[in-house]
Amino acid sequence: MAVTKEGRGPRKRMIHNPVIGDTVEFLQTKEETGGKYELVEVTLTPGGGNDLHYHLDYEEEFEAVEGILSIECDGEIYRLKPGDRAIARIKSVHRFYNDGKLPILFRVKVTPARNFEQMLRIAYGLAYDGRIKPNGLPRNVLELAVLFIKGGLYPPSPPLSVLRLIFGVLYGIARLSGVEKRLLQRYC
C-alpha cells in the first residue's frame, strides 16, 4: 500500500498517490468524529488536481494552507490564498487543482464523512499497485464502480439517471464477484 508515515492506531495516517503525485494525511477520521465529518490535509504537486464532479450527499470545504489552491465550482474559478476557504455544496460541480510551479498544501473537510476515507485508500492503493490510468481512474471497470459508489462521485455527464443505472449494475457485479471485498481487505 502507498504509505509514507505511520500515525496513531493500526492504519497509516498518510497515503501517497505515485501517479498523480499528491499526498493525503487523515487529520480526523469518520470514526474519530462519529461520522459527522472527515478532515484531510493534501499536498498537491504542480499540475495536480482532479476532474469536474459532484456529490449527492456530502459537501467539501476547502482551506488553503500554503500556496494558491485553484477551485472551479459551478463554472466559477476561485484562487484561495492561505486562510481562504471555499465550499462545494451538495450537487455543486467542482474540482481543485494546482496551476502553480510549487507544491501546495490545503485541507478538505467532508461533511458528513460517508465513505470518503475508504474511497481514497482504495484509489491510492490502486495507484501504488499500478492499476490506474494516468488520469487517476482505475483500469478495471468494476474497481471504478466501487470507487464511484464508495466516494459518491459523479461526473457532470452523462445524466445522473444513466450513471446510477450503469454504476449500480457494475457495483452489484463488483459486490457479487468479490471485487469490493478484495479492495476493502487489501487497502482499508
Reply yes or no: is the peptide bond before residue 159 cis, omega within 30 of 0: no
- Three-class secondary structure of residue 16 per DSSP: strand
Fold type of domain 3-111: Jelly Rolls (2.60.120)
Kindly list the domain boundaries of the chain, sorted by start residue. 3-111, 116-187
DSSP 155: -
pLDDT of 11 reads 67
Question: What is the chain's pLDDT, residue by residue, as a tens digit (188 residues)?
Answer: 333 333 334 568 999 998 887 999 999 999 999 999 999 999 999 999 989 999 999 999 999 999 999 999 999 999 999 999 999 999 999 999 999 999 999 999 999 999 999 999 999 999 999 999 887 889 999 999 999 999 898 999 999 999 999 999 999 999 999 999 999 999 99
C-alpha cell at 94: 467542482
**Nearest C-alpha neighbor of 140 from the set 96, 110, 180:** 180
Q: Both ends of the chain: CA-CA distance in Å?
A: 10
Predicted pLDDT of residue 58:
96
DSSP type of residue 180: H
pTM score:
0.89
At 7 the pLDDT is 37
Residue 136 has a pLDDT of 81
Q: Is 139 helix (H, G, I), strand (E, B) or coil?
A: coil
What is the torsion angle, in degrees rounded to the nearest 10, for the CA atoms of residue 55, residue 115, residue 176 and residue 174? 60
CB atoms within 10 A of CB 183: 24
